[in-house]
C-alpha cells in the first residue's frame, strides 16, 4: 500500500456556465429521453459519454443544417448568428445554454464591429467560442493565438483587442504591453472569464501544498491546458490525466501527499473517481 494522503481542490470542477448547460440538458433528457446538442456539450470525454448514455445526441454543424422540427441544445461556448438563422428556417427549437459571460463578449464585439473598429481576438483558431465571436463581425475580425502569429501580420495603428474567455490573463497583458511598446494605441478589453483567471491564483496556492498534483481534464479543454500549466509551473511534480486508467504507480512515492484539481470542464465525479483510485494504490 502506498498510503497516499489525497485531497480534492474544492475550487475545481465545473464553472457555472457548464453547470447550467448540463442542468438544462438533463432536464430535457428527463422529459423526452433524448436531445440533440450542437458540438460536445463540455470538453470532457468522460462527461460526454455519461450524457450520451442518457440520450444526448451530439451533432456537428453539417448534421444540424439537415435537422428539422427538433429540440437542439446550444452549449456554453455560444454560436454565431448563422446558427440561429438555420433554426428559424428548419423550425428547430433551440435550448440556448450559451454562457452569459460569452453572450456579453459577443455583444461587445458586435458593438465594436458596428463602430468599424479594427478587432483582434486572442484565441484559438476554430474553437467553437471563437467561431461564435467571429460571427459577430461577419468573420472580419482577426484571430491570433500567439504573439508570434500576431506580429507576422501588418497591424493598424489603433487596435481593439479582445480575448477568448479561457485564455491566460498574463499572456493577454503581455500582448497589450508589447503592442503599446511598438507604438500602437490599444483598446484592450480583458474579457477573460473570472471563473478561469481566479482559479489561476487559487490553484497556485493549492499546488504548492502537496508533493504531487494530479490535474484532471479532457485533452480538448482550452482552460484545462492553461490551468495545467499554472500547476506545473508551481509544482513541477504535476501530472495530467484525462481518466482514471492513466494514473500510474510510478508517479508516486509511498506516503506522498497528492492534490487533485481540474479545469472548468472537469466533473467532480471524475475527480472523486481519481481520488478513490489513488487511495487504493
Ligand atoms: S469558463 Fe466562464 S465563460 Fe466559459 S462557460 Fe465557464 S463561466 Fe462561462
Residue 222 has pLDDT above 90, yes or no: no
> pLDDT for 257-270, tens place per residue?
999 999 999 999 99
Residue 35 has pLDDT above 90, yes or no: yes
pLDDT value at position 17? 94
Q: Mutate which of 23, 25, 104, 196 to test ligand 1's pocket (most atoms within 8 Å of Cβ)?
A: 196
| 101 CA: nearest ligand 1 atom | 3
Distance 151 CA to ligand 1 centre (A): 28
pLDDT value at position 220? 86
Three-class SS state of 124: coil
Residue 255 has pLDDT above 90, yes or no: yes
> pLDDT for 8-24, tens place per residue?
999 999 999 999 999 99
Q: What is the mean pLDDT of residues 105-117?
A: 98
Nearest CA to ligand 1 atom 7: 17
Rounded-to-integer distance, Cα 94 and Cα 175, Å: 37
Distance 1 CA to ligand 1 centre (A): 39
Ligand 1 residue neighbourhood (C-beta within 6 Å): 15-18, 76, 99, 101-102, 165-166, 193, 195-196, 264
| 165 CA: nearest ligand 1 atom | 3
C-alpha cell at position 155: 497591424
Residue that the C-alpha cell 472537469 belongs to? 266
State the catalytic residues: 129
Three-class SS state of 280: coil
Q: Which residues contact 136 (CB under 8 A, 6 or more apart)?
A: 80, 81, 106, 107, 109, 110, 113
Nearest CA to ligand 1 atom 5: 17
Residue 148, CA atoms < 13 Å, CB-side half-sphere: 0
Q: What is the mean pLDDT of residues 83-106?
A: 97
pLDDT value at position 154? 92
Q: What is the mean pLDDT of residues 99-125?
A: 97
Distance 200 CA to ligand 1 centre (A): 14
> pLDDT for 159-211, tens place per residue?
999 999 989 888 999 999 999 999 999 999 999 998 888 888 899 999 999 99
pLDDT value at position 62? 97
Q: Mutate which of 164, 264, 265 to test ligand 1's pocket (most atoms within 8 Å of Cβ)?
A: 264
pLDDT value at position 232? 97
> pLDDT for 272-281, tens place per residue?
999 999 999 9
Residue 139 has pLDDT above 90, yes or no: yes
pLDDT value at position 272? 97
Could you tell me where the DSSP H helices lie in the chain?
A: 16-32, 45-53, 61-66, 81-89, 100-114, 128-134, 147-151, 169-181, 194-207, 222-234, 268-279
* % of the chain with per-residue pLDDT over 90: 93
pLDDT value at position 226? 86
> pLDDT for 141-151, tens place per residue?
999 999 999 99
Q: What is the mean pLDDT of residues 90-114?
A: 97
pLDDT classification of 130: cutoffs 50, 70, 90: very high
Amino acid at each position: 500500500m502506498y498510503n497516499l494522503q489525497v485531497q480534492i481542490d474544492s475550487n475545481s470542477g465545473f464553472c457555472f456556465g457548464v453547470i447550467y448547460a448540463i442542468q438544462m440538458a438533463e432536464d430535457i433528457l428527463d422529459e423526452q429521453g433524448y436531445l440533440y446538442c450542437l458540438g460536445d456539450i463540455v470538453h470532457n470525454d468522460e462527461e460526454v459519454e455519461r450524457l450520451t448514455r442518457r440520450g444526448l445526441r451530439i451533432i456537428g454543424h453539417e448534421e444540424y443544417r439537415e435537422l428539422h422540427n427538433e429540440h437542439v441544445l446550444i452549449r456554453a461556448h455560444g454560436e454565431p448568428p448563422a446558427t440561429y438563422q438555420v433554426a428559424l428556417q428548419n423550425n428547430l427549437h433551440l435550448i440556448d445554454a450559451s454562457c452569459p459571460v460569452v453572450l456579453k463578449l459577443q455583444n461587445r464585439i458586435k458593438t465594436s464591429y458596428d463602430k468599424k473598429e479594427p478587432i483582434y481576438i486572442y484565441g484559438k483558431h476554430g474553437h467553437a467560442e471563437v467561431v461564435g465571436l467571429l460571427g459577430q463581425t461577419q468573420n472580419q475580425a482577426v484571430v491570433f493565438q500567439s504573439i508570434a502569429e500576431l506580429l507576422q501580420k501588418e497591424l493598424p495603428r489603433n487596435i481593439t483587442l479582445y480575448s477568448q474567455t479561457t485564455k491566460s490573463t498574463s499572456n493577454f497583458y503581455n500582448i497589450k504591453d508589447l503592442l503599446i511598446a511598438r507604438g500602437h494605441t490599444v483598446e484592450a478589453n480583458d474579457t477573460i472569464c473570472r471563473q478561469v483567471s481566479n482559479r489561476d491564483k487559487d490553484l497556485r496556492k493549492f499546488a504548492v501544498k502537496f508533493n504531487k498534483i494530479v490535474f484532471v481534464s479532457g485533452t480538448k479543454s482550452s482552460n484545462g491546458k492553461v490551468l495545467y500549466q499554472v500547476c506545473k509551473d508551481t509544482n513541477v511534480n504535476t501530472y495530467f490525466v484525462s481518466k482514471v486508467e492513466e494514473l500510474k504507480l510510478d508517479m508516486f512515492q509511498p506516503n506522498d501527499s497528492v492534490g487533485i484539481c481540474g479545469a472548468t470542464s472537469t466533473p467532480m465525479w471524475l475527480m472523486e473517481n481519481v481520488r478513490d483510485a489513488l487511495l487504493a494504490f
